[in-house]
Amino acid sequence: MALASPITADAIPHFAQRFETAQPQEIVRWAIDTFGDGVSVGASFGGASGMAILHMAASIKPDVHVFVLDTDYLFEETHETMRRAAVSLDLQNLQVYKSRLTHEQQALQHGSALWMRDPDACCELRKVEPNRRALDGKTAWLSGLRRDQSEGRADTPIISWNNKFGLVKLNPLANWSEQQTWSYVVAHNIPYNPLLDQGYTSIGCYNCTVPGVQGRAGRWQGFEKDECGLHTD
């Protein structure tokens, strides 16, 4: 059964102004204090930002709902980072969500290598739809988006109402730089994806990610696309 949101859409501008100068840790604590079990943390186990948010949330509420979208095309290093983080951060409520279609079923219904022909459709099947199930019944979504990650994320709000998934979305690290994020990860000895030390700057599915390209330009090369659809409202 869906929980009722403890804040209304009308209150969001007030919190947006308040959080613009707040530290991410303060925002995460507010979210957990306010939404309780209604909070869900999206984790890709790819970037440093997501690992920082996980640490902040799990430090306050070890049983916070953490979800990962396993597209069936994740790097083995991503799986290993998830396993390490589950132990290191004592993640007590880590849930994996997958597409309703296996790789073989998707190929039968949509043709082989859909990501090479219509990556938006592939992302919809393997990320957006599972994300909807992961957030079902939740009232707040904690994400690791930062404004410096790409031009398209430059206006990322710290708090907003997310129409696509019908809940409050918080990006506590929106104001942080890459350097600030890495400083936090290193200072707290948080495990991170080893591919980040091997030339990858944005890690998604292995069939749509290349190393040696800055920012999100390393994803979906050959297409005018730098978002999977989770963070576009």
Residues acting as catalytic residues: 228
Q: In what order do the strands lie in the sheet with 65-70?
A: 94-98, 65-70, 39-42, 140-142, 167-170, 159-162
Number of C-beta neighbours around residue 136 at 10 A = 12
* Contacts (Cβ under 8 Å, ≥6 apart) of 230: 42, 127, 128, 131
Q: What is the CA radius of gyration of the chain?
A: 17
* Contacts (Cβ under 8 Å, ≥6 apart) of 29: 60
* CA-to-CA separations, 75 to 38, 112, 141, 203, in angstroms, rounded: 30, 20, 24, 9
Collapsing DSSP to helix, strand or coil, 141 comes out as strand
